[in-house]
Structure 1
Amino acid sequence: MTNITLNRLFSHIFCYLAFSAIGFGVCAQTAQFEYDLKITADPTKRAAYLKQSGEVPSPYEQVFSLVKGSMSVATVVDKVDIRKDQYHINSTGNLAAVLATVLNDQKLLRDSVGAITNVGMVTNTYQEKRGNTELLIARVEKNALNFYKISSRTPPVGSAPYSGRLLDMLTVGYQFIGRELPAKSVALPVTDGRSLKTYTLVRGEPWDFPFDGGNVRAIRYYKTTSKEDTATFEVWFSEKEHVPLRSVIGLNAQYGATIQVDLKKIPKFQ
């Protein structure tokens, strides 16, 4: 075996050991996750709420009025890039053909950039754009999480005190790759680009999850609710890879809708 071959072998071994030891390692790790997004909606509930409140639905929300019962409405692709001390997740949601035509090919665009630390991913900047709505930006600046619309070069439209750990709507699903799943409840500060909330995820039951033509052992985590925050959230992480197999978001009663996101296939990091 030549020295070049040996060097490559030792390099691959080193990368593997480093990745295993600290979760993300010193070598670039990239993977693409593809999901099917399904919505179960009752348009009459949303219509009644809008009539009572006088609110006007955003262009992106029109998808709820087009759903009758339960149907797959979009494909979401997350590109996850994990490096030694930083990460980048880019997500694009494309509507199904019929809905794309009706809604002028609106997309759900999200992007998260931050650091890799001993507690996992820590968000620095999160961006989200839903269809024709304004771009939302949440950015950590000094000791505050500032919120912007359209551009971070304009004055912030809001702010929240910040110190320590921060997640967003993308990193909350990939937070445990290469790390142990929490044995008990865990409190996670999460931003959606508009505000900062603390989600308490409770560890639920393990079960054999029907997936990709077979069964995959998964652990369920679910968010606690309150009178002020009635939206529900639950996610099933694969017991082996700790990736999100399914996420279910029960929107507030004013929307009359539930969003379910299912991973199509577990990818391998390269």
Structure 2
Amino acid sequence: MAPLIKLSTLFFLWAISASIVMAQAPKDLNTNFEYELKLSVDASKRAAYLKKMNEQPSPYEKVFTVLSGSVQVANIVDQVKFTGGTYQITSVGNLIAGMSTALGGQRLVRESQGSVSPSGLVSLVYQEKRGNTDLLISRYEPPKKTITFYKGSFRSPTGSTPLEGSLIDLVSVGYQFIDRALPTKPVTYQVSDARSVKRYTLVPAEVWEFPIDGKKIKAQRFYKTTSKDDTATFEIWFSQGRNLPIRSVIGLSDQYGATIQVDLKKIPAL
């Protein structure tokens, strides 16, 4: 099988979220959400892209040449805290035993901090470190209507851009609607990945049923629109009731030839 994807791409999760005006703020909570991450690959797409671009695969990619079909490759634990008008979400992704050994125990650590506004979670500081790459940070200052990006620490800004309105990030995506009504029409959001801000449109769709903890949980699917310049797909399912994130699926572009699926292992005590 041809080489597949970079470690940093494996950990690219959750691309979009929401900011809808609701009447009730989410309740205070402090709990963990546990997920398993599965990866399926299309080696031909990745190989064709590398050939087209005259590029060579990274050393990390060779670790994934043994994959066939959909395979669990990592576990993720999100510690979610809502307290009064603020929130903090710390997400840690660890590769499973075999891959962790092959890649020197590298992991993904992300953190989102911000405020809880009438329109949802507002990301003020988002940071992530993927394996042995540099720490990346974005800091949003609503009074100045500016978001600034950093590499390594707050002492090393890499650029800034004007920004008006609420901002979300790749970690707050799944928790935007806890104890809030889900949107009934397509909505567009501003999303930080600690490198830049992108605009995504999320469309409500049908209801599915998932077996979790021996129970059948109904959850509504939402999907991201695509375009010529943005071919990556994204879907996320929110459970009916408290709107917990049950599953998310990211279909990466032909550049990577991979699909990432993240499933909630059990319903946490809230």
TM-score relative to the length of structure 1: 0.85
Residue 101 of structure 1, CA deviation: 0.6
Write the distance in 1 (CA, Å) between the matches of 2:158 and 2:137. 10
Equivalent-residue separation in structure 1 for 2:247 and 2:263 (angstroms):
5
SS at match of 2:30: strand
Secondary structure in 1 matching 2:220: strand
Contact 2:74 2:94 in 1 (8 A): yes
Instruction: Supply the distance in 2 between the matched residues of 1:192 and 1:220 (Cα, whole angstroms).
Output: 22
Which residue in 1 is equivalent to 2:125?
125
Task: State how 1:59-208 maps to structure 2 within 5 Å.
Answer: 64-141=64-141, 142-154=144-156, 156-208=157-209
SS of residue in 2 equivalent to 1:132: coil
* Rg larger in structure: 1
SS in 2 for 1:173: helix
Shift of 1:186: 1.5
The alpha-carbon distance between structure 1 residues 230 and 202, as it changes in their structure 2 partners (threshold 3 A), is same
Q: 1:225 to 1:210 in 2, by over 3 A?
A: same
Name the CA distance, whole Å, in 1 between partners of 2:63 and 2:89.
25
Aligned-residue Cα RMSD (Å) equals 1.8
Separation in 1, partners of 2:238, 2:161: 30
Matched residue of 1:165: which SS?
Answer: coil
Map of 1:23 onto structure 2:
25
Q: Deviations over 1:239-269 (max 9, x none)?
A: 1120110000001111000000000111122
Distance change >3 Å, CA 55–CA 122, structure 1 → 2: farther
Q: Deviations over 1:81-121 (max 9, x none)?
A: 00111000000000010000101111011100000111111
> SS in structure 2 opposite 1:157?
strand
Q: How far apart in 2 are the matches of 1:63 and 1:202?
A: 36
* Contact 1:43/1:67 (<8 A) preserved: no
- Where in structure 2 are the equivalents of 1:228-247 lying within 5 Å? 228-247=229-248
TM-score of the aligned structures, taking structure 2 as reference length: 0.85
Higher RCO (Cα < 8 Å, 6 or more apart): 2
1:47 aligns with 2:47: yes
Aligned equivalents of 1:243 and 1:85: distance in 2? 20
1:258–1:219 Cα change, 3 Å: same
Letter of the structure 2 residue corresponding to residue 42 of structure 1: D
Could you say if the C-alpha distance between residues 267 and 59 of structure 1 is closer, same or farther in structure 2, counting changes exceeding 3 Å? farther
Equivalents in 2 of 1:55, 1:125: separation in Å? 34
Contact 1:169-1:190 at 8 Å conserved across structures = yes
What runs of 5+ residues in structure 1 fail to find an aligned partner?
A: 1-20
C-alpha change, 1:224 and 1:64, in structure 2 (3 Å) is farther
Structure 1 residues 152 and 128 mapped into 2: Cα distance closer, same or farther (>3 Å)?
same
8 Å Cα contact 1:249-1:260 kept in structure 2 = yes
1:32 counterpart = 2:32 = yes
Q: Aligned pair 1:268/2:254, yes or no?
A: no
State the secondary structure of the residue aligned to 1:76: strand
1:66 Cα deviation (Å)?
4.6
Amino acid across the alignment from 1:114 = G
What one-letter code is carried by the residue in structure 2 that aligns with 1:262?
Answer: D
Structure 2: stretches of 5+ with no match in the other structure: 1-22
Moved more, 107-116 or 64-73: 64-73
Please state whether the residue corresponding to 1:129 is helix, strand or coil. strand
Superposed CA offset, 1:141-178 (max 9, x none) = 32211111111211x22333212210001111100001
Count of paired positions:
246
**Distance (whole Å) between structure 2 residues aligned to residue 62 and residue 245 of structure 1:** 31
Return the letter of the residue paired with 1:200: T
Greater helix fraction, Structure 1 or Structure 2: 1
Structure 1 residue 215, shift from structure 2 partner: 1.2
1:32-69, CA deviations, whole angstroms, 9 ceiling, x for partnerless residues?
Answer: 00000000012343233234324565666565545332
Q: Please tell me whether residue 227 in structure 1 is matched to residue 228 in structure 2.
A: yes
Secondary structure of the residue that 1:172 maps to in structure 2? helix
Which one-letter code corresponds to 1:112 in the other structure?
Answer: S
Question: Match for residue 7 of structure 1?
Answer: none
